[in-house]
Amino acid sequence: MQPALEHQEEKDSQKEEEEAPPHELTEEEKQQILHSEEFVTFFDHSSRIVERALSEQVDVFFDYSGRDLQDKEGRHLSRLVTYPELLVASYSSNEDAPHEPDGVALVWNMKYKKTTPEYVFHCQSAVMSAAFAQFHPNLVVGGTYSGQIVLWDNRSNKRTPVQRTPLSASAHTHPVYCVNVVGTQNAHNLISISTDGKMCSWSLDMLPHLELVFKQSKSVAVTSMSFPLGDVNNFVVGSEDGSVYTACRHGSKAGISEMFEGHHGPITGLDCHTAAGPVDFSHLFVTSSFDWTVKLWSTKNNKPLYSFEDNSDYVYDVMWSPTHPALFACVDGVGHLDLWNLNNETEVPTASVTVEGNPALNRVRWAHSGREVAVGDSEGQVHIYDVGEQISVPRQDEWTRLRTLSKIQLNEVLQLWALKHIYSFSCSKSQCRGRTSGRLFACVDGVGHLDLWNLNNETEVQKSPRNII
């Protein structure tokens, strides 16, 4: 019975179709439909969904290797993009997986909360430093324990490096803790420094070959390196002996230039000021050390401008915010991540958080946006923190405020020191001379006076009544 009925229905509807204008309605009919209640109900519901879908920002289909941009002939179209959501982290060997290679670098995507990395890279020797190769968005550079520099490519389907530097005396034979690509799109080099003080400069132009361009040695056990903003020749390094050295790559005085002393323990992290703005602070840099302190320096002074002493353990890393000129982050061995805003307060961090379980935090990195901070810990975990707008976003006047701070830095150091020893300080010049390292000293009295004396000409420099405590 049924098939016959269906057949009849088909015939009927076919007739209907033939009778109606083929695939078209009259304007009147359309308007009628558009004004009907059932249509409005349908449209209300479906437009709602469509508007939500249209407002979605994420694109789960994105291919970071760029294969989707290949044109018909199979050539790779050049892309000068960086992906701020990608984060590369290198790890020490996994105790639970002894058969896995020693060297591991993982690329994580901060846009999604998936629990697996975007890319997994391996190599034979432990990776001590890893970075995206600037100007080559597909490449990741790694400095290894053996001294080899390795290059991974996310276009290859392999987890192993596409390029390795030779393991010979002409290159590095000691662990490489610092790798950095410096220069411009047309002229850039990969700089690597090993712990025996050897600096090598490699060319990335002859990819897939890494060509050694230049090397120099100074027996400095380099643990950290940074290039000031805009500089490709001068750079600063921190070493195991607690000293900071300035150096340059080219010129008659190529090599180590000056030594800055100040830390009492190995330097673990060093970062040159990066937030560009109306005032140039590229001479400022911060260092972190095993001596529980973070220090602020200028390349123009061989003594620290300021010492931040809020930590009670080794400080493992420090980094300036890429967008806020007075903000930097540091991490220590008992799970603290501290954000310091010099325009706000120089005695204590502006914001602080402790990672659950208090693991030692080895590395801290700001995201390009300056709105997120990534922290790597001793358990092999990477934690990403959002930094609130009120802390991370600089106001217009942040640069001028910081400049004012820098100028009176020396005075402040003395004043604050005086405040700490408030009751033991006397105004007798002979006593004071032994305590100060500069020509200025400060003294305080019980009625709120802070006086600055200049030892050299023994005259009062400044007198300012103010409430100190």
User: Is the CB of residue 351 less than 8 Å from the CB of residue 339?
Assistant: yes
Using the rule CB under 8 A, is 54 a contact of other proteins?
yes
25 counts as binding other proteins under rule CB under 8 A? yes
Contact stretch for other proteins (CB under 8 A) within 44-52, 74-82, 86-94, 384-392: 44-52
- Report if residue 47 touches other proteins, rule: CB under 8 A: yes
Residue reference for tokens 């558009």: 34
| Cα three-residue angle 228-237-331, rounded to 5 degrees | 85
State how far the alpha carbon of 80 is from the alpha carbons of 66, 77, 88, 459, in Å: 11, 10, 19, 61
Considering beta carbons, is residue 38 or 73 the nearer one to other proteins?
Answer: 38
**Judged by CB under 8 A, how many residues of this single chain contact other proteins?**
25
**What are the structure tokens assigned to 364, written together?**
């801290």
- Closer to other proteins at the Cβ: 1 or 58? 58
Query: What's the CA gap between 245 and 201, in Å, rounded?
Result: 18
Q: Which of 138, 110, 146, 133 shows the shortest CA–CA distance to 204?
A: 133
49 binds other proteins (CB under 8 A): yes
- Pick the stretch among 4-12, 21-29, 71-79, 272-280 that binds other proteins (CB under 8 A): 21-29
Q: Which helix (H) or strand (E) holds 14?
A: helix 2-19
Residue choice 18, 19, 28, 59 for contact with other proteins (CB under 8 A): 59
Among residues 3, 18, 35, 347, which is the contact residue for other proteins, using CB under 8 A?
35
Q: Is 63 one of the binding residues for other proteins (CB under 8 A)?
A: no
Query: Is residue 61 part of the contact set for other proteins (CB under 8 A)?
Result: yes
Measured from the CB atom, is 61 or 423 closer to other proteins? 61
Contact 160, 122 (CB under 8 A): yes
Nearer to other proteins, 17 or 258 (CB): 17
Q: Is residue 68 near other proteins by the rule CB under 8 A? A: yes
Q: Which of 261, 238, 236, 239 is nearest to 247 (CA)?
A: 236
Single-letter amino acid, residue 424: S
Pairing of strands 284-289, 267-272: antiparallel
Stretch that binds other proteins, among 39-47, 81-89, 314-322, 408-416 (CB under 8 A): 39-47
Q: Interface mask (CB under 8 A) for other proteins, residues 327-366, using x and -?
A: ----------------------------------------
Report helix, strand and coil shares of the chain as percent, to nearest 5. Answer: 15, 35, 50
Q: Residues interacting with other proteins, by CB under 8 A?
A: 23-25, 30, 33-35, 38-47, 49-51, 53-54, 59, 61, 68
